[in-house]
Structure 1
Amino acid sequence: MADDGLWSIGELAGHAGVTVKTVRFYSDRGLLPEAARSAGGHRRYGPDALDRLRLIRSLRALDLPVPDVGRVLDRQDALEDVIAGQLREVGSRLAALRWREAALGLLRDCAPEERADRLRLIGAVSAPPDTAALARFWRRWLPARLPARVVSAVLEQAVPQPPADPTPAQVLAFARLHAFVSGDCVGTERGQPAAHRPDGGYRPEVLYDGLGETYALASSELRSRRPPHEGEALDSFVSAYACAGGTRDTPTFRRRLSDQLAADPRIDHYWQLAAELSGPSAPTAGAAHDWLRAALDIQVARQAA
């Protein structure tokens, strides 16, 4: 250290255990301000530069980008935000790696004749995957002009989230689900359930408001492995259709509803793949709908007998 109490760039580098090039790099980017310049124009640093340089190295060891390091140095309260952002980024990277690992395992363990098809399916999905294509499918499937809150509630129930640590089978299920919704799926008016059609007399927003709670009741029955039966869930299901159609819940209405639902187009393949992705502990809305339909059919058949 010179008589003025300042260090040269080489002295600072030696005390910190880094190269002169490293000190110059951080100085040039404004992270390590110099205290003065020598008569020859060389950089001079005060003793506090050593602590600042060590802090910079600690932050960089966590792989923080240089701009984030600058934010932390300028504002002490910025560290919490930077850490939170880095944790999100690391989580996303880990999710991508887990997805890739499961996808590679799927390709490794399949029969050679299946490999090309599975590679095509997997290649169409990002890692980690997102559910934008699934959400678009449901926006096409749902009746037009539903309130945003109703659409949001339906998407929450109908769009399965990819697991954070997927198995190879779940990777395949999601890839097939993505291919299904990205293809030429049923989505025209002729392929819609009767309750979606403008001339059907239904108020779809009322129907879907009621179905959300109804599916939750049926899902509880499914998790308990109870067979379809009469009760609160079925009554809530029928009431949702009756209220949406502006009519009363009567035995005649239940018979008509049973016939209508039997004739509605189905997307069983979607729900099958969604179930493979979510697992048995999380019944899909499709499984809940099928349970309720079966309960209604049983009741109608019993009354007819």
Structure 2
Amino acid sequence: MDDHTDLFSIGQLARRTGLPVRTIRFWSDEGLLPPTARSTGGYRLYDAAAVARLELLRSLREMGIGLDDVRRILDRQTSVREVARAHVRALDAEIRTLRVRRAVLRSLTRRGVTTEEWRIMSDLARLSAQERQRIIDDFVTEVFAGLDDGPGTGIAQAMRAMPAELPDEPTDEEVDAWLELAELVADPDFRRRAREMAVAGSAGEDAPPPEPMLSIESARSALAAGIAPDSERAREVLDAMVDPALSRAERRRLADGMAVFTDRRVERYWQLIGVLNRQPPFPPAVPAVEWLIAALRADR
């Protein structure tokens, strides 16, 4: 080291800190650890301040902080506290992603899945939470694009606002719901049908709410009892639900209006969202509405 007794070579730094020579040399080449001086032979030399800088650099890297952030800290363009806060947020997101992947793998070990299900689940697990939410956002944007506000378009805000993410420590049922939801919103036919409902709602037609659509217990009971919608018994049920004085044409118009907003897949969408958000399940309403529609249209 010539006469620079208070300076250290890279080799001496390596022995002092336990870091590999190549790591110290790389950080020095990157400008993160500039040499204090050069020996007569052109070798880099470092003083005690550089040693302290090296220890801080190592600590930051061991915490997983990237080189760009390390550089900003060392150059005092930002504080360790600010970078730590950002790093905590990044770690939280990473932990969340790892939990999702663990949940998917656990679910796969407990049951058999097809190759296609495995591919879809693996693809979804690799996405970030923001990317998974973007799948729902893109679906909502496509379905409701260019529509004015109307009785039916409030469903768009509800779809965006309701998280479609796996809970922490999800059950197999929640993993299944998550997979089914991703497949559902990617289905072009489902998107087309949802678009039809949105257009009708924007035009001012009355849309049922997304939860149980109507108070249709009579129709539900008739369906459970196996009463055919075109039977005389169905007429008795129907007369208790709608004005018996309605003409055949009026009943058909009522049925057609109800059919616009009746779709099992749309109801399934809300059931899946409910599973993921751990909401109490609601009994399907669409089958009973379908029975009512068929009863209204029946010729007797």
Q: Which runs of 5+ in 1 are unaligned?
A: 220-227, 230-250, 298-305
Pick closer, same or farther for the CA change 1:144–1:189 going to 2, 3 Å. farther
Q: State how far apart, in whole Å, the 1-side matches of 2:191 and 2:42 are.
A: 73
Match of 1:273 in 2: 272
Given that 1:102 and 1:166 are in contact with CA atoms closer than 8 Å, whether structure 2 keeps it comes out as yes
Q: State how far apart, in whole Å, the 1-side matches of 2:85 and 2:283 are.
A: 38
* Amino acid corresponding to residue 138 of structure 1 in structure 2: V
Q: State how far apart, in whole Å, the 1-side matches of 2:4 and 2:163 are.
A: 70
Tell me which structure has the larger Cα radius of gyration.
2
Given that 1:106 and 1:169 are in contact with CA atoms closer than 8 Å, whether structure 2 keeps it comes out as no
Match of 2:224 in 1: none
Match of 2:24 in 1: 23
TM-score under structure 2 normalisation? Answer: 0.65
Residue 174 of structure 1 deviates from its aligned partner by 0.9
Given that 1:27 and 1:34 are in contact with CA atoms closer than 8 Å, whether structure 2 keeps it comes out as yes
Q: State how far apart, in whole Å, the 1-side matches of 2:202 and 2:102 are.
A: 50
Given that 1:27 and 1:33 are in contact with CA atoms closer than 8 Å, whether structure 2 keeps it comes out as yes
3-state SS of 2:124 partner = coil
* Amino acid corresponding to residue 38 of structure 2 in structure 1: R
Q: State how far apart, in whole Å, the 2-side matches of 1:9 and 1:117 are.
A: 54
Q: Give 1:136's match in structure 2, choosing from 127, 135, 138.
A: 138
* Amino acid corresponding to residue 141 of structure 1 in structure 2: V
Pick closer, same or farther for the CA change 1:70–1:198 going to 2, 3 Å. closer
Given that 2:200 and 2:260 are in contact with CA atoms closer than 8 Å, whether structure 1 keeps it comes out as no
Match of 1:145 in 2: 147
Residues 80-229 of structure 1: matches in 2 within 5 Å?
A: 80-111=81-112, 114-116=113-115, 118-128=117-127, 130-142=132-144, 144-146=146-148, 153-158=157-162, 160-188=164-192, 192-193=196-197, 196-197=199-200, 200-201=203-204
Q: Which runs of 5+ in 2 are unaligned?
A: 217-241, 244-249, 293-300
Residue 54 of structure 1 deviates from its aligned partner by 0.8
Given that 1:9 and 1:44 are in contact with CA atoms closer than 8 Å, whether structure 2 keeps it comes out as yes
Residue 33 of structure 1 deviates from its aligned partner by 1.4
Residue 56 of structure 1 deviates from its aligned partner by 0.9
Pick closer, same or farther for the CA change 1:78–1:168 going to 2, 3 Å. farther
Residue 53 of structure 1 deviates from its aligned partner by 1.0
Match of 2:14 in 1: 13
Given that 1:9 and 1:20 are in contact with CA atoms closer than 8 Å, whether structure 2 keeps it comes out as yes
Q: State how far apart, in whole Å, the 1-side matches of 2:170 and 2:140 are.
A: 24
Pick closer, same or farther for the CA change 1:5–1:188 going to 2, 3 Å. closer
Q: State how far apart, in whole Å, the 2-side matches of 1:191 and 1:41 are.
A: 72
3-state SS of 1:44 partner = strand
* Amino acid corresponding to residue 196 of structure 1 in structure 2: V
3-state SS of 1:125 partner = helix
Pick closer, same or farther for the CA change 1:152–1:82 going to 2, 3 Å. farther
Q: Which moved more, 1:27-36 or 1:165-174?
A: 165-174
3-state SS of 1:185 partner = helix
Q: Which moved more, 1:18-27 or 1:93-102?
A: 18-27
3-state SS of 1:60 partner = helix
Given that 1:139 and 1:151 are in contact with CA atoms closer than 8 Å, whether structure 2 keeps it comes out as no
Q: Give 2:261's match in structure 1, choosing from 261, 264, 270.
A: 264
Over aligned residue pairs, what C-alpha RMSD do you find?
Answer: 4.2
